[in-house]
């Protein structure tokens, strides 16, 4: 893959369905147009700093495995395994399952028979029960037409990717181009079709309304329906659950480093270009939402404008914007854009994730067969077909179980922890391996990587305090990997791990 394909993986993995939805929940907590934009700007700053920092690690170790390899080399094999374990168990596969089911649900806009309520085989309902901060259960098991479509899409994309990285990259290039154009179209609509009432409500004369509620001394309700009030920095950190992880998965391109031409140049460039373009579109999209719909709304209002951004139907803010602009068929236009977006997102994540499990297997820390490549050789060598199919099977099981959404909620905190550890690893490797070749050095080191760690740690502290349902369960899932690591390590050999390390790092 060249620079364009690598950038397409960055952008395609980032753009899913989150940008079209999460601003509704964020606006309910923030209650201020300025803070909504500020939250997305915080996400943009953190993501771009993270991408620029990862660029050094990617250029230094341009082999398959990406973040798993960086953690292993900087902090030790246990930390690399815990990341790979969580990635396989939930982060990658759970996201693919969620994106696949979202594809099925939006396909239902055109074909009503495709629905999460249209059961083909309903195994049963698991009632909710509480275990500390966790709410377990409350999900339906079985096969409905929405998750059947998801399974078909996942299997189809897996088959395409087993035909080689060129085929997977071609699909990714096509659908990433289409989804970026779709996002750009939403931005264009906001420029051309602005609602004067929404502009007045959200911006006002001299942008007075825009800054309302954004003062340093303004207090915000930390939990919906609760009575605890927090300051500006805390509330912006709380809503990062939505924005930061709508921009997540940008690191997926590092998993495919072994199949990218001139990775020492193209990996850092793809990370910088891909994250920069997507986050610019994300911020512009939120300005569009504010120019077409009022921020504040009434959940019981009969009109789209009356419900505003805060209470858009099923939180589908982008759909509400398009329906305002193109009454009668705007919802279908948006559904088509989201179908393109989710299809491309699933493909990018399937392509990338399999390379991590391949690297783990080569270290003797995953099923041995997963570390074999197919005999079909491409420009970058064979394809990890077994890894692709193992990922496919687990993802399909998550689709049927209905647990992927709940599991994703639990690992949001853990994902951020692994980002912190990886960027901290940049400092460790500068100290322990000063002689290693670094074709690209992290921009702004050590200030910008240090700033990322400070910002991310602050968000983690806030989430531990105000969102325990998203934090402690994630830590439990990660820690469950420790005994699994000990079992795999006992079965592996030191020689196997040393040989694999030399192969996957090149240093």
Specify whether the CB–CB gap between 69 and 80 falls below 8 A: yes
Kindly list the distances between the CA atom of residue 36 and the CA atoms of 185, 235, 236, 477, in Å, as whole numbers in the listed order. 21, 11, 8, 31
User: What integer pLDDT is reported at residue 134 of this predicted model?
Assistant: 57
Domain of 179?
A: 3-505
Alpha-carbon gap, residue 476 to 453, rounded angstroms = 22
Specify whether the CB–CB gap between 429 and 73 falls below 8 A: yes
C-alpha triplet 453, 455, 457: angle, nearest 5° = 65
User: How far is CA 318 from its chain centroid?
Assistant: 19
User: What integer pLDDT is reported at residue 277 of this predicted model?
Assistant: 92
SS3 249: coil
**CB-count burial class (<10 Å; 0-12, 13-18, 19+) for 439:** middle
pTM of the entire predicted model: 0.86
Query: In sequence order, what are the residues at sequence separation of 6 or more whose Cβ sits closer than 8 angstroms to the Cβ of residue 336?
Result: none
Query: In sequence order, what are the residues at sequence separation of 6 or more whose Cβ sits closer than 8 angstroms to the Cβ of residue 500?
Result: 359, 362, 363, 364
Alpha-carbon gap, residue 240 to 377, rounded angstroms = 42
User: What integer pLDDT is reported at residue 390 of this predicted model?
Assistant: 93
Domain count for the chain, please give it. 1
Specify whether the CB–CB gap between 309 and 23 falls below 8 A: yes
Specify whether the CB–CB gap between 110 and 332 falls below 8 A: yes
C-alpha triplet 336, 338, 341: angle, nearest 5° = 115
User: What integer pLDDT is reported at residue 471 of this predicted model?
Assistant: 81
Instruction: Read off the tokens for 86.
Output: 């969580």
User: How far is CA 346 from its chain centroid?
Assistant: 11
Q: Which residue has the tokens 């991590």?
A: 356
Helices (H), 370-493: 385-401, 404-432, 447-466, 468-479, 481-491
User: What integer pLDDT is reported at residue 495 of this predicted model?
Assistant: 44
pLDDT tens, 412-423?
Answer: 788 889 999 999
User: What integer pLDDT is reported at residue 128 of this predicted model?
Assistant: 66
SS3 106: helix
Q: Walk along the chain (507 residues) and give the pLDDT tens digit of each residue.
A: 888 888 988 888 888 878 888 898 889 888 899 999 999 999 999 999 999 999 888 888 887 678 898 999 999 999 999 999 999 988 888 888 888 888 888 888 888 888 878 888 888 877 766 666 556 666 778 888 988 999 999 999 999 888 877 887 888 888 888 888 888 888 888 788 888 889 898 998 778 889 888 888 787 777 644 567 888 898 899 888 888 878 888 888 888 777 888 888 888 889 999 999 999 999 999 999 999 999 988 888 888 888 888 888 878 888 888 888 888 888 888 888 888 888 888 888 898 888 889 888 888 888 888 888 876 544 445 788 999 999 999 999 888 887 666 666 777 788 889 999 999 999 999 999 998 888 888 889 899 999 999 999 999 898 888 878 778 878 888 899 999 998 888 776 544 555 555 554 554
Return the number of other C-beta atoms located less than 10 Å from residue 343's C-beta: 22
Closest to 235 (Cα-Cα) out of 10, 458, 501, 438: 458
Helices (H), 193-329: 196-202, 232-238, 240-246, 263-292, 304-307, 317-325
Alpha-carbon gap, residue 253 to 271, rounded angstroms = 8
User: What integer pLDDT is reported at residue 407 of this predicted model?
Assistant: 67
**CB-count burial class (<10 Å; 0-12, 13-18, 19+) for 464:** middle
Instruction: Read off the tokens for 212.
Output: 């309302």
Q: How does DSSP classify residue 67?
A: H
Specify whether the CB–CB gap between 22 and 240 falls below 8 A: no
β-pairing verdict for 129-131 and 134-136: antiparallel
Query: In sequence order, what are the residues at sequence separation of 6 or more whose Cβ sits closer than 8 angstroms to the Cβ of residue 442?
Result: 52, 53, 55, 56, 426, 448, 449
CATH code, domain carrying 36:
1.20.1740.10
Q: HSE of 300 in the Cβ direction (CA atoms, 13 Å)?
A: 0
Alpha-carbon gap, residue 44 to 244, rounded angstroms = 8
């Amino acid at each position: 893959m060249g620079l364009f394909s690598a950038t397409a993986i960055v952008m395609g993995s980032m753009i899913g369905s989150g940008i079209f939805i999460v601003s509704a929940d964020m606006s309910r907590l923030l209650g201020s147009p300025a803070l909504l934009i500020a939250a997305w700007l915080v996400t943009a700053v953190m993501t771009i700093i993270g991408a620029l920092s990862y660029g050094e690690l990617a250029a230094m170790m341009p082999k398959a495995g990406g973040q798993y390899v960086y953690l292993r080399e900087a902090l030790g094999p246990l930390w690399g395994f815990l990341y790979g374990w969580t990635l396989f168990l939930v982060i990658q596969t759970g996201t693919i399952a969620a994106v696949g089911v979202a594809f099925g649900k939006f396909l239902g806009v055109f074909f009503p028979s495709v629905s999460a309520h249209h059961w083909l085989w309903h195994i049963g309902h698991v009632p909710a029960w509480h275990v500390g901060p966790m709410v377990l259960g409350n999900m339906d098991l079985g096969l409905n037409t929405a998750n059947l479509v998801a399974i078909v899409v996942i299997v189809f994309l897996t088959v395409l990717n087993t035909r080689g990285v060129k085929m997977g990259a071609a699909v990714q290039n096509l659908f990433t181009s289409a989804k970026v154009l779709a996002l750009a179209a939403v931005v264009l609509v906001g420029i051309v079709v602005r609602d004067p009432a929404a502009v007045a409500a959200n911006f006002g004369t001299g942008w007075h309304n825009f800054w309302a509620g954004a003062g340093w001394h303004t207090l915000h309700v930390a939990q919906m329906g609760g009575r605890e009030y927090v300051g500006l920095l805390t509330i912006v950190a709380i809503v990062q659950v939505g924005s930061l992880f709508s921009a997540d998965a940008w690191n997926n391109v590092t998993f495919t480093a072994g199949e990218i031409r001139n990775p020492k140049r193209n990996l850092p460039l793809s990370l910088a270009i891909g994250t920069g373009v997507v986050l610019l579109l994300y911020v512009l999209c939120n300005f569009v939402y504010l120019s077409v719909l009022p921020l504040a709304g009434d959940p019981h209002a009969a009109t789209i404008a009356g419900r505003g951004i805060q209470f858009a139907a099923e939180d589908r803010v982008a759909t509400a914007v398009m329906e305002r602009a193109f009454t009668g068929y705007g919802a279908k236009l948006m559904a088509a854009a989201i179908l393109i977006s989710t299809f491309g997102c699933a493909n990018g994540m399937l392509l990338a994730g399999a390379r991590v499990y391949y690297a783990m297997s080569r270290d003797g820390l995953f099923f041995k067969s997963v570390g074999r490549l197919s005999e079909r050789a491409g420009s970058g060598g064979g394809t990890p077909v077994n890894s692709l199919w193992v990922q496919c099977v687990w993802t399909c099981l998550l689709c049927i179980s209905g647990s992927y959404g709940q599991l994703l909620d639990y690992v949001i905190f853990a994902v951020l922890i692994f980002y912190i550890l990886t960027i901290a690893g940049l400092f460790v490797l500068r100290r322990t391996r000063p002689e290693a070749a670094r074709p690209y050095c992290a921009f702004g080191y050590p200030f910008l990587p240090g700033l990322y760690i400070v910002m991310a740690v602050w968000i983690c502290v806030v989430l531990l305090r105000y969102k325990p349902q998203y934090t402690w369960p994630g830590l439990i899932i990660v820690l469950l990997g420790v005994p699994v690591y000990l079992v795999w390590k006992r079965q592996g050999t030191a020689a196997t791990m040393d040989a694999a390390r030399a192969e996957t790092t090149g240093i």
